[in-house]
Amino acid sequence: MKKSPVRTIVAIGIGAALFFVLGRFVAIPSPVPNTNICIQYGLLAFMAAIFGPVAGALIGLIGHALIDFSYGWGIWWSWVIASACFGGLMGIVAKRFRLADGIFEKKDILTFNIFQIIGHVIAWGVIAPVLDIVMYAEPANKVFIQGLVGGLVNIVTTAIVGTLLCVAYAAAKPKQGSLEEEKDD
Amino acid sequence: MTNIFNYIDRPSPIHRLTGATKLVCLLLWSFAAMSTYDTRLLAVLPVISFGLFAVSKIKLRDVSFMLGFTAVFMVLNNVLVFAFSPQHGVTLYGTRHALFSLGGNYVVTKEQLFYHLNLVLKYLASIPIVLLFVCTTNPSEFAASLNRIGVKYTVAYSVALALRYIPDIQREYHEISQAQQARGVEMSKKQTLVKRLKSAGAILIPLILSSMDRIEVISNAMELRGFGKHKKRTWYMGRPFRGADIAAMVLCALLLAAAILLNIHNGGRFWNPFA
């Protein structure tokens, strides 16, 4: 598919708006009281897989910063940056996928999930806690446990929601060579 | 529409500042509050920010919900810090003045209490100012101001697009969700967790697929109008700087300078009264 820079800009805008709406208003109650499941990372992984690393990173950055802004608790930069890194990391593998051509096979599902797990581990297991320590001087064991719990939940929701979105999107796209010439005889 | 971001339009000197000024001030202020743990500066910042609230004619009642939310978050974070690392203050300040014991490792020390005081002050120094920014800056002007402070206009335009389409996507989500509920999709607590995630998918997939079409339509429209051809663009909501803008930015720059000087003077980010 033809890549246009304008398309990426629009994808970032709409992606960030989707990220915001899912993160802010769509709360799926979880078994733990007062904890909701964030499904926006499934969306982020999916958008990054289609539009690449720049779009992924900026959707994470803008979407997460807007969520923090709307709650009014100040921007928690360390976690915003971690979101951006996850989007960027997922975007790096985007070249492997041919989602735009409607192809997303078993092998792609596997790659997608391996990379989303690696991405989440780097973002929430390393980047977010390290930035928490550097920026806010919080105790190490607290931020690492917070990061690990957040990361684990995100891995599970991305595996379900992200994979579902990729499969559905690929199925909705017309496949290359899916048309056959009808022969008159 | 602007209600999600709590913009409150009232005539005040702070509202009259340009969006770019407020953004620069917010960044300088945040860096100042973030970089230092000097208790004296951290105690001054909340006083100034509540003074600014009075100037901006934003009443506490307007933001009480968000302040309450923040307070819960702050208490929770403090409890977590203490639960995980009751001796964090001791390692930071290098001395140990035990007050009383709660059993095991949970000995309350003066250093730990002082560290918690700093944490609380840090919240008070950095959060009301963000609230003030959110309440006094028109979201449309926000995108224009991003470009003003040197963010590439294409990225600033992405932010503008996001702000523009949040209400649309919200409405669409609501419509799809109701249509699916009418067909028996349930997302409440009565369902099992896996079922709930699956029903979320039943709403998400139509929403995402229609958003993908939306991306195509918007980017075609923008391309047809020659978006991205020139290196610069003008903004409908942009305004020129005036004297008050420059004064505000200089004052915030002084705050950051004070924070950096204090860090150098204290020989680190922490002001240590125990040494």
Task: Return the minimum-mean-pLDDT range out of A83-92, B50-59, B183-192.
Answer: B183-192
Give the pLDDT of residue A59.
93
With 70 as the cut, is the pLDDT of residue A88 above it?
yes
What pLDDT, in 10s, does the model give residues B177-206?
Answer: 889 889 888 777 677 777 777 777 788 889
Section B26-52 average pLDDT: 87
With 70 as the cut, is the pLDDT of residue A13 above it?
yes
Q: Please report which confidence band the pLDDT of residue A185 belongs to, taking 50, 70 and 90 as the band edges.
A: low
Q: How far apart are CA A16 and CA A11, in angstroms?
A: 8
What pLDDT, in 10s, does the model give residues A36-58?
Answer: 667 888 889 989 988 889 999 99
With 70 as the cut, is the pLDDT of residue A172 above it?
yes
- Cβ-contact B130, B103 below 8 angstroms: no
Q: Nearest Cα to A116, choosing from A34, A21, A175, A45? A: A45
Q: For strands A36-37 and A28-29, give the pairing.
A: antiparallel
Q: Do B69 and A72 touch (CB under 8 A)?
A: yes
Give the pLDDT of residue A5.
82
Q: Please report which confidence band the pLDDT of residue A173 belongs to, taking 50, 70 and 90 as the band edges.
A: confident
Interface of A with B in 123-182 (CB under 8 A): 135-142, 145-146, 157, 160-161, 164-165, 168-169, 172
Specify the fold of A5-172: Arp2/3 complex 21 kDa subunit ARPC3 (1.10.1760)
Prediction pTM value? 0.80
| Percent of chain A as helix, strand, coil, to the nearest 5 | 75, 5, 20
Which amino acid is located at B98 in the chain? A
Q: Do B85 and A142 touch (CB under 8 A)?
A: yes
What average pLDDT does chain A have?
82
What pLDDT, in 10s, does the model give residues B78-92?
Answer: 888 888 888 888 888
> Domain boundaries in chain A?
5-172
* H-type alpha helices, A27-139: 40-51, 53-71, 77-92, 106-120, 128-136
What pLDDT, in 10s, does the model give residues B157-180?
Answer: 888 888 888 888 888 988 998 898
With 70 as the cut, is the pLDDT of residue B146 above it?
yes
With 70 as the cut, is the pLDDT of residue A30 above it?
no
Q: How far is A181 from chain B (nearest CA, A)?
A: 28
Interface of A with B in 17-76 (CB under 8 A): 17-18, 20-22, 24-26, 28-31, 37, 39, 42-43, 46, 58, 62-63, 66, 69-75
Q: For strands B107-109 and B98-101, give the pairing.
A: antiparallel
What average pLDDT does chain B have?
84
Give the pLDDT of residue A72.
58
What pLDDT, in 10s, does the model give residues A17-26?
Answer: 999 888 877 7
Best probe of the B interface among A9, A51, A173, by most B CBs < 10 A, is A9
Q: Kindly report the backbone phi and psi dihedral angles of residue B10, in degrees, each rounded to the nearest multiple of 5, phi listed first.
A: -140, 145
Task: Return the minimum-mean-pLDDT range out of B49-53, B103-107, B158-162.
Answer: B103-107
Q: Nearest Cα to B42, choosing from B131, B119, B152? A: B119
Query: Measured between CB atoms, which of B165, B196, B270 is closest to A14?
Result: B165
Q: How far is A179 from chain B (nearest CA, A)?
A: 22
What pLDDT, in 10s, does the model give residues B3-13?
Answer: 566 678 888 88
Give the pLDDT of residue A35.
55
Please name every residue paired with A37 in a beta bridge, in sequence order, or none if there are none: A28
Q: How far is B116 from chain A (nearest CA, A)?
A: 10
Does B268 or A166 have the greater pLDDT score? Answer: A166
Give the pLDDT of residue A110.
86
Q: Do B196 and A29 touch (CB under 8 A)?
A: yes
Task: Return the minimum-mean-pLDDT range out of B38-47, B242-251, B266-275.
Answer: B266-275
Does B210 or B72 have the greater pLDDT score? Answer: B210
Give the pLDDT of residue A1.
46
B108–A contact, CB cutoff 8 A: no
Section B207-213 average pLDDT: 91
Q: How far apart are CA A26 and CA A24, in angstroms?
A: 6
- The three-point CA angle B211-A9-A87 to 5° equals 80
Residue in chain B lying closest to A132 (CA): B34
With 80 as the cut, is the pLDDT of residue A131 above it?
yes
Give the pLDDT of residue B152.
85
SS3 B99: strand
Q: Kindly report the backbone phi and psi dihedral angles of residue B98, in degrees, each rounded to the nearest multiple of 5, phi listed first.
A: -75, 140
> Domain boundaries in chain B?
2-144+242-266, 152-224
